Structure 1
Amino acid sequence: MVTAGTRGDGMRRANLSLVLRTVHREGPRSRAALTEATGLNRSTIADLVGELQRGGLVIERASDTQGRVGRPSPIVAPDPRVVAVAANPEVDALDLAAIALDGTILVRERLDQRALLTPERTAEIIAERLAAWRRGPLADARITGVGVAVPGPVRASDGLVREAPHLGWIDAPLSQLVTDATALPAHVGNDAALGALAEYLFGAARGAHDVVYLNGGASGIGGAVIVGGTPLGGAGGYAGEFGQNRPGIVDIADRRAADGVLEDEVSRAHLLAAAALDGGDDAALARALASIPDVSEVDRQRRILATALANAANVLNPAVIVLGGFLAVLAARDLAGLDAAVRAQTIPACAEGLRLAVAELGEDRLLVGAAEAVFEAALFPAR
């Protein structure tokens, strides 16, 4: 939607993206603050802001410093009518949201599912809910696209879901299915990669340049890595599958699955069973675990998780490790204790400056990341 490039002016397109990206990710700024943040001169900022306003991407409002000496600089903010739709299919539910360019979550729904979603049914539900929203809360919205966070490897080139094992999907053309159903551009990504993006830009990893993120959901454990501020995708876009690593388990009594991978041992299903729950979101799980007298399963999973995190710290030397989903529930019971257990297995050089954190965006992190993928493709084509 930043279209100055149609004039053959690549530099102008890049500058438009820079201004829009700044107010989207850093929050509303005065023209004077944008001048300082971007390094562009005042007249250029005024011109760019004017074009973004005409394109319906930003709005200007009066400064809250009126009444002070000097002429106040108007405040530039993302236009809240610019919206991305986000979805996260899981084995037990489909989470949906409409998120505005200013970060406001305009609509959010969790649709519990009795049967496993198929790719076709997922696209169908997204289209149905979008049509309903357009008659209601999104009546005045400019919808830029649909982002989908999927629990499994996704081919970066075309959004093909190579495998979502717990959903039973193999080589599912979800991006095309969603586009066909909604007549909107669709952007499909691995849920952990999108969660990492959200926490890096707006949450617990903000300001860090080297990040490891692990996401625990109903489908298992996914992960993502950010190196020097750039997501590590790998040759096909599949990097970060920490849940498929084989953990080092010191006490054989801690093992639950013969030759199991991390997500077999550190498991939401095992925690639900320990808490005598049939299902529910992470908040319900946390409340239930807090009330059970026998926490042996929680402690077992924390021991194995600590080793897995230490391995990640030793290999990748991140500044911060962020845990989302049920892993955040495990960590939050005693974050300092888990941090100590990780450090005990991390070489001192890699432990220096390492921070362990739970995801700040909570249940919204995957949807925020999916929406960000839409905005990135539609609004920020130039770097």
Structure 2
Amino acid sequence: MPPPTSPATGTRPHNLARLLRLVHELGAQSRAELTETTGLNRSTIADLVAELVRRGLVEESVPDVAGRVGRPSPVVRPSAGVVAIAVNPEIDATEIAAVGLDRSILVRDRIEHATVPTPEEVAAVVADRISTWKDDVLAGARIESVGIAVPGLVRSGDGVIRNAPHLHWSDVPFADLVREATGLPVSVDNDATLGAIAEHRYGAGHGFDDVVYLNGGASGIGGGLIIHSIPVTGAGGYAGEFGQNRPRISDDADRRTGDGTLEAEVSRRMLLDVADLDQADDDTLDAALTASESVAVEAEVARQARVLASALANAVNVLNPSVVVLGGFLATLSALQGERLVDDVAALAMTESAEGLEIRPAALGQDRLLIGAAELAFADLLADPGARG
């Protein structure tokens, strides 16, 4: 996700953006808290807040505090009525949600596909859902933009899908397709990159400067990197493809392919099959695996966790992160294997690199990619709210 252009530091547009980002990322803040955080004086804060209120981006209210002497500082909240449409197309279903500037999910839907969808079919689904919501739950809302998290290699500058192998999409101008279908601004990026950003800002990676994020979805395993608190995407924007690495598998009994990649050996489809499920969202699959008393389920979960540990050890040796965050079905593997996965990673990694390492499930659960896509959609607004209508 390339950073949008921001106003010069110290200018009024910069301070306006700073305030909006603070309430967007931290939630409701009093004027007094904003004054302390920014170092700006009270009159400047009052003026900036007034402009954000006028633009419909925040709401301000005076809290009713029982027993308090004196007038409490007004509280500033981001508007839930300013909305991003967040989309995550996958081989089995497209998830779409309306996410408020306050990060609330106002409405969401999962549209299952009988066959792998074409780009045109996904664009039509997004346009239809937006049209339906405008007449219902989003009536009166201001839709800012559409953000799309795609499981594949994305040229984020123009929203071209270079290669989404499981979707069978290649060199697709997907941002243009959705823009034409919806009439809205559209941004597209890799799903795991956006998941990493969401978990770093709001989830299991919050407070850590160096994060490795792995996303387990229907299309396989992708990754995102946060180094010194900055998303790292590589020269072409394609960094983090952990699923294409080949893990070390020392026990032939754990091997399911001749010389397979991580995502061929650690597979959501295999877990669905052993749990006797055709399709399922993350929560349904997690519940089924967690509740199962099947020996076959237990064995497959343990096998996949062992293979995953070898891949994570390689990432730990190369990148030396503070925390590894696992999303999707990988979070379920982590939860079910507990300390065993941590111990296996530590045994395979360099001792020094693994010191203090934490392995955590994604805290945002099945919302992680939608929140990440919404962050992408809101990026220009947050960078320069004074430039928007």
TM-score bucket (shorter structure): over 0.9
Residues paired across the two proteins, number: 379
Task: Tell me, in whole angstroms, the C-alpha distance in 1 between the residues paired with 2:5 and 2:206.
Answer: 29
Task: Tell me, in whole angstroms, the C-alpha distance in 1 between the residues paired with 2:143 and 2:79.
Answer: 12
The Cα of 1:9 is off from its aligned counterpart by 9.5
Among candidates 359, 380, 384, match of residue 356 of structure 1: 359
Query: Secondary structure of the residue that 2:280 maps to in structure 1?
Result: coil
After the TM superposition, which of the residue ranges 10-19 and 114-123 deviates more from structure 2? Answer: 10-19
What pairs up with 1:279-290 in 2 under 5 angstroms? 279-290=279-290
The Cα of 1:3 is off from its aligned counterpart by 12
- 1:379 corresponds to: 382
Give CA deviations for 1:125-148 in whole Å, capped at 9, x if unaligned. 100110010000001101000011
Task: Tell me, in whole angstroms, the C-alpha distance in 2 between the residues paired with 1:258 and 1:377.
Answer: 46
- 1:293 corresponds to: 295
Structure 2 residue 73 is matched with structure 1 residue 73: yes
Task: Tell me, in whole angstroms, the C-alpha distance in 2 between the residues paired with 1:356 and 1:139.
Answer: 42
What pairs up with 1:182-331 in 2 under 5 angstroms? 182-290=182-290, 291=292, 292-294=294-296, 295-331=298-334
The Cα of 1:265 is off from its aligned counterpart by 0.4
Task: Tell me, in whole angstroms, the C-alpha distance in 1 between the residues paired with 2:147 and 2:211.
Answer: 22
The alignment yields a C-alpha RMSD, in angstroms, of 1.8
Task: Tell me, in whole angstroms, the C-alpha distance in 2 between the residues paired with 1:41 and 1:322.
Answer: 39
TM-score by length of 2: 0.94
- 1:56 corresponds to: 56
- 1:137 corresponds to: 137
Q: Is the 8 A contact 1:156 1:236 kept in 2?
A: no
In structure 1, stretches of 5+ residues that fail to align are none
Query: Secondary structure of the residue that 1:175 maps to in structure 2?
Result: helix
The Cα of 1:122 is off from its aligned counterpart by 0.8
Aligned-partner residue type, residue 382 of structure 2 = L
Aligned-partner residue type, residue 31 of structure 2 = R
Task: Tell me, in whole angstroms, the C-alpha distance in 2 between the residues paired with 1:196 and 1:161.
Answer: 19
Could you say if the C-alpha distance between residues 244 and 9 of structure 1 is closer, same or farther in structure 2, counting changes exceeding 3 Å?
Answer: closer
The Cα of 1:10 is off from its aligned counterpart by 7.3
Moved over 4 A (4+): 2-5
The Cα of 1:66 is off from its aligned counterpart by 5.6
Query: Secondary structure of the residue that 2:149 maps to in structure 1?
Result: strand
Task: Tell me, in whole angstroms, the C-alpha distance in 2 between the residues paired with 1:287 and 1:26.
Answer: 31
Task: Tell me, in whole angstroms, the C-alpha distance in 2 between the residues paired with 1:64 and 1:317.
Answer: 48
Query: Secondary structure of the residue that 1:333 maps to in structure 2?
Result: helix
Task: Tell me, in whole angstroms, the C-alpha distance in 1 between the residues paired with 2:214 and 2:384.
Answer: 28
Task: Tell me, in whole angstroms, the C-alpha distance in 1 between the residues paired with 2:307 and 2:121.
Answer: 36
Aligned-partner residue type, residue 362 of structure 2 = A
Task: Tell me, in whole angstroms, the C-alpha distance in 1 between the residues paired with 2:42 and 2:196.
Answer: 35
Could you say if the C-alpha distance between residues 4 and 194 of structure 1 is closer, same or farther in structure 2, counting changes exceeding 3 Å?
Answer: closer
TM-score by length of 1: 0.95
Q: Is the 8 A contact 1:4 1:12 kept in 2?
A: no
Task: Tell me, in whole angstroms, the C-alpha distance in 2 between the residues paired with 1:378 and 1:183.
Answer: 17
Q: Is the 8 A contact 2:211 2:324 kept in 1?
A: yes
The Cα of 1:4 is off from its aligned counterpart by 11
The Cα of 1:197 is off from its aligned counterpart by 1.0
- 1:341 corresponds to: 344
Q: Is the 8 A contact 2:275 2:289 kept in 1?
A: yes
Task: Tell me, in whole angstroms, the C-alpha distance in 2 between the residues paired with 1:256 and 1:168.
Answer: 23
Task: Tell me, in whole angstroms, the C-alpha distance in 2 between the residues paired with 1:335 and 1:196.
Answer: 21
Q: Is the 8 A contact 2:59 2:76 kept in 1?
A: yes
The Cα of 1:253 is off from its aligned counterpart by 2.1
In structure 2, stretches of 5+ residues that fail to align are none
Query: Secondary structure of the residue that 1:344 maps to in structure 2?
Result: helix
Aligned-partner residue type, residue 279 of structure 2 = G
The Cα of 1:334 is off from its aligned counterpart by 2.5
Query: Secondary structure of the residue that 2:247 maps to in structure 1?
Result: coil
Q: Is the 8 A contact 1:98 1:105 kept in 2?
A: yes
Task: Tell me, in whole angstroms, the C-alpha distance in 2 between the residues paired with 1:130 and 1:250.
Answer: 50
Aligned-partner residue type, residue 39 of structure 1 = G
Q: Percent identity?
A: 56
Could you say if the C-alpha distance between residues 61 and 3 of structure 1 is closer, same or farther in structure 2, counting changes exceeding 3 Å?
Answer: farther
Aligned-partner residue type, residue 333 of structure 2 = L
Give CA deviations for 1:66-93 in whole Å, capped at 9, x if unaligned. 6412321000010111000011111110
Task: Tell me, in whole angstroms, the C-alpha distance in 2 between the residues paired with 1:381 and 1:210.
Answer: 27
- 1:168 corresponds to: 168
Query: Secondary structure of the residue that 1:154 maps to in structure 2?
Result: strand
- 1:151 corresponds to: 151
What pairs up with 1:24-103 in 2 under 5 angstroms? 24-65=24-65, 67-103=67-103
Aligned-partner residue type, residue 176 of structure 1 = D
Give CA deviations for 1:198-238 in whole Å, capped at 9, x if unaligned. 11111111111111000000100000000111100111111
Task: Tell me, in whole angstroms, the C-alpha distance in 2 between the residues paired with 1:191 and 1:116.
Answer: 17
Could you say if the C-alpha distance between residues 63 and 152 of structure 1 is closer, same or farther in structure 2, counting changes exceeding 3 Å?
Answer: same
Task: Tell me, in whole angstroms, the C-alpha distance in 1 between the residues paired with 2:5 and 2:333.
Answer: 46
The Cα of 1:39 is off from its aligned counterpart by 2.0
Q: Is the 8 A contact 1:3 1:13 kept in 2?
A: no
Task: Tell me, in whole angstroms, the C-alpha distance in 2 between the residues paired with 1:142 and 1:321.
Answer: 36
